[in-house]
Every structure is written in structure tokens, then in C-alpha cells.
């Protein structure tokens, strides 16, 4: 097994990886910026290295500094977590060049799935349904013909995109060229790539994603689905597993198609295939070639440690179970707790004066904050993930309602109150919600 892993991340995911490493008897190296010198992942790791000043570009995105830290601490592998460099093809390539193991897929697979156009081509070849789209937008007449065929509205997306960047909805054909240009400018700024494509816009879909795990021997399993439809500006807020609208036949069918597609490219490690789901039909959107923020809900329902499995797969171990061994039991919900105002959504960095996290049977908190810590203004506002598990969805919601009431974070604003409103709303309780749910709060 790996002897020492460098964790190229911060916050709750750095702690999550650290704990998995400890249970596998693997030493850890934490990297941190100046702003995170007193962070919990730094305090708990076996070694730590400062890789730069507060700004992410100069620290957590500073590839030369991270590679230097890995070299001087003599690590076997680097775990990127999620965000930052986790889906950066060049980062994975450089790690491979330094004979250090990247805990994730091969750089070629990051590149393949990172290009949404190429990813859709792979899925189409394997019978995975995709949203009707057009990749080449150079010929305006062809674009207009496509729009005429599928009807308005349509959506323009960045080929290298994520998080809603480079994304524009077109409702009026007269705004076509202006909207495409706007999407290209934002895409270039966010991803240094102005390639965009166009798709039919689904008006009221759900966001359903399939978790997969693959090893170097070609074994692949799916670990059920997650419903991630509660989103604000394409950022997920609440996720649950399993979805309450899929039949077992639908679940089996889409899982089998995902396995076929992943097998065709020789993928290794964990990954998630994301779909829009409307009128009983799946439409592939993209694949995330990393651990997802919402992985805990899958862990709760399957009782499979995804981070450990990811590390074992990276080392070359075969998956120790098969599809028939996976027993989906109960229901799990995750609320992302962000340091932001619950109504204006303005980020709220600062000192945490008081902190009390909920507990009890079926309650899990993944967080790296503590009383007296400072939430810096330089990074994503996610500060905790509150996860509950119950025998069924109703029981799980009751536990989440109680856990949110118990959760105390003073000194900064959080979105706990917003989660309370959502969890208690009639639409959420009934499961009658889709991607447009959060528009009522804007």
C-alpha cells in the first residue's frame, strides 16, 4: 500500500481523505496557504507544507509548489480531492511524469471527459442517451436550422465548463449571435477555452447522477444514483440517495449503460455520470472524473467507503466486491452548509465565535471548522456538509429537520435557515421538485 499521500486540497475534503488514509495506515502530508496555517487538516496531518500566500492561484492551484512539496516529503501519491486541480489534465500529467501516483483517473481520461463535446460522443457510441445538440457553431444557418428543429429555448454551454460558467439560455432567435459571443467570452475567462456548443434546453428536469467505481483490471460497479436537483445558479445545495422517482428497472437500465460506456474507455477510479431526467427519459450532460462533494449520501446508503476504494483502486487493487454484493439500504440526504447570508447569498467569511454540531443516530457532519477558527474569504464558501440517514425518506427528512435545528454556528452568516425552509417545504417533502425549485428564492 502507499506509504505516504499528499492531500492537495483544504477544508472538509482534506480531512475526509486524511481520515481514510489513517484507517489504511498511510501517512499524510497536508499543503496549506498562509491563510490556512491554523486549519484543522494542517493540525491533524503527519506533516504539512506551506505552498504559498492566501490566493488560491498562488497556493492550492500552484502546481510547481505542490510538486515541490510532494518531492521534499517523499510521497508515493497525491490525492486532489474535488475542485482546485482535481480535474486538471496537466496536473495529473506532471504527477505521472514525476513517478508519483495521481489518485484519480489517467490524465487522458480527464482530458477526454473534461471536453463535454467528446464526452457526449463517447456516450452516443455506447447507447447512452444525450440531449440533442450541435457542436459546430461556426455556420449560423446550421445553428438556426438546429434551433428550428428542436425549438426554443436552447442552451449554450462551454465545452470545458462547469459551475454554470459560459452557460447561456436563449429564448429569442434574434439574440443568437450576441448570446453565443457572451458565452464564449465568459468561457475563455473561466477556462481559457472559448469553445461552446448548443443543446435543447429542458424546461423542468431533475438532475440525476450515477456513481461508478472502476479498477485497473476492468471491473466496474455502479453504486446507485443521487438526486441533486436542489441547486442555485448551477451550484448544488441538497443531494439525496436514492432518487424517489426512479423505478428499479430505470435504475438498472441507466446503470448498465454507464458501465458499458466507462468500460469502453478503460476508465479507473471513481467517477460520476450526470444526467438531466425529464418525462421518464435520461439525457447525459457530463462526467466528473473525481470524488464528488455529495459522495457521503452514497456511502451512507451502500456502507461503502468511496475514498478508501478510490485509494485502493489507484494502488492497483481490484474491487473486493461485485455488483450483486452492493446492498442499497435506507435513504440519505446531504445539506451543504455555506458561509453566506441565507437570503442575499453574499459570502460571509470571518471568525467562528461559537460552534456546536448536531449528533445522534443517523447524523453525520463533514466539516473542518471549530470554535475560534477563521473562515477565509479566498475560497469556496462551503464550510460543512450535514448528512442524515434513515430507514426511509420520511425518517431521513425528520432527522435532517432536527439536525438543522441543533446546528449552531455563530460569528458568521450561514445558509442553515435556507435549508430549514427547503426541508420543510411541501414540494421537497413530497419529492415534487426539479432544477427550477430554487428560483422562488431569487
Give yes or no for a contact between 177 and 140, defined as CB atoms under 8 angstroms apart.
yes
Distance CA 38, CA 33 (A): 10
Taken in order 185, 272, 275, 209, the sign of the CA dihedral is negative
User: Which of 311, 263, 323 lies closest to 109 in space, CA to CA?
Assistant: 263
In order of 7, 110, 250, 262, 350, the CA distances from 289 in angstroms are 17, 6, 24, 11, 32
For 259, how many CA atoms within 13 A lie in the half-sphere containing its CB? 16
User: Which of 306, 301, 241 lies closest to 269 in space, CA to CA?
Assistant: 306
Residue 3 burial (10 A CB sphere; 0-12, 13-18, 19+): exposed
End-to-end CA distance of the chain: 49
Catalytic residues: 290
Give yes or no for a contact between 33 and 107, defined as CB atoms under 8 angstroms apart.
no
Amino acid at each position: 500500500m502507499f506509504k505516504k499521500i499528499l492531500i492537495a486540497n483544504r477544508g472538509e475534503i482534506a480531512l475526509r481523505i486524511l481520515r481514510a488514509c489513517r484507517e489504511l495506515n498511510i501517512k499524510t502530508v497536508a499543503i496549506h496557504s498562509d491563510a490556512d496555517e491554523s486549519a484543522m487538516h494542517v493540525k491533524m496531518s503527519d506533516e504539512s507544507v506551506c505552498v504559498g500566500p492566501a490566493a488560491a492561484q498562488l497556493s492550492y492551484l500552484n502546481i510547481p509548489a505542490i510538486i515541490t512539496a510532494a518531492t521534499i516529503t517523499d510521497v508515493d501519491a497525491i490525492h486532489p480531492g474535488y475542485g482546485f486541480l482535481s480535474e486538471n489534465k496537466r496536473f495529473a500529467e506532471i504527477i505521472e511524469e514525476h513517478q508519483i501516483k495521481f489518485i484519480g483517473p489517467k490524465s487522458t481520461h480527464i482530458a477526454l471527459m473534461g471536453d463535454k463535446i467528446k464526452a457526449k460522443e463517447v456516450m452516443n457510441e455506447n447507447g447512452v442517451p444525450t440531449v440533442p445538440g450541435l457542436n459546430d457553431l461556426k455556420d449560423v444557418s446550421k445553428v438556426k436550422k438546429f434551433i428550428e428543429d428542436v425549438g426554443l429555448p436552447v442552451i449554450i454551454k462551454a465545452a470545458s465548463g462547469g459551475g454554470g460558467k459560459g452557460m447561456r439560455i436563449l429564448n429569442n432567435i434574434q439574440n443568437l449571435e450576441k448570446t453565443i459571443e457572451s458565452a464564449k467570452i465568459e468561457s475563455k475567462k473561466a477556462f481559457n477555452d472559448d469553445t461552446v456548443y448548443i443543446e435543447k434546453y429542458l424546461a423542468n428536469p431533475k438532475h440525476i447522477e450515477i456513481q461508478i467505481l472502476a479498477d485497473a483490471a476492468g471491473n466496474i460497479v455502479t453504486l446507485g444514483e443521487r438526486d441533486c436537483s436542489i441547486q442555485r445558479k448551477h451550484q448544488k445545495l441538497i443531494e439525496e440517495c436514492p432518487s424517489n422517482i426512479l423505478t428499479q428497472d430505470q435504475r438498472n437500465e441507466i446503470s448498465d449503460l454507464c458501465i458499458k460506456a466507462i468500460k469502453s474507455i478503460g476508465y479507473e477510479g471513481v467517477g460520476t455520470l450526470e444526467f438531466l431526467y425529464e418525462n421518464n427519459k435520461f439525457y447525459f450532460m457530463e462526467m466528473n472524473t473525481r470524488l464528488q462533494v455529495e459522495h457521503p449520501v452514497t456511502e451512507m446508503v451502500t456502507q461503502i467507503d468511496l475514498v478508501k476504494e478510490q485509494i485502493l483502486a489507484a494502488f492497483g487493487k481490484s474491487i473486493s466486491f461485485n455488483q450483486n454484493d452492493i446492498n442499497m439500504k435506507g435513504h440519505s440526504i446531504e445539506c451543504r452548509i455555506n458561509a453566506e447570508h441565507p437570503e442575499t447569498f453574499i459570502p460571509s467569511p470571518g471568525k467562528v465565535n461559537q460552534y456546536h454540531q448536531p449528533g445522534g443516530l443517523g447524523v453525520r457532519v463533514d466539516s473542518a471548522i471549530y470554535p475560534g477558527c477563521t473562515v477565509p474569504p479566498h475560497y469556496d464558501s462551503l464550510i460543512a456538509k450535514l448528512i442524515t440517514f434513515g430507514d426511509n425518506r420520511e425518517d431521513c427528512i425528520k432527522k435532517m429537520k432536527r439536525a438543522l435545528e441543533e446546528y449552531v454556528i455563530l460569528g458568521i452568516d450561514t445558509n442553515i435557515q435556507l435549508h430549514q425552509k427547503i426541508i420543510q417545504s411541501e414540494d421537497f417533502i413530497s419529492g415534487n421538485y426539479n432544477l427550477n425549485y430554487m428560483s422562488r428564492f431569487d
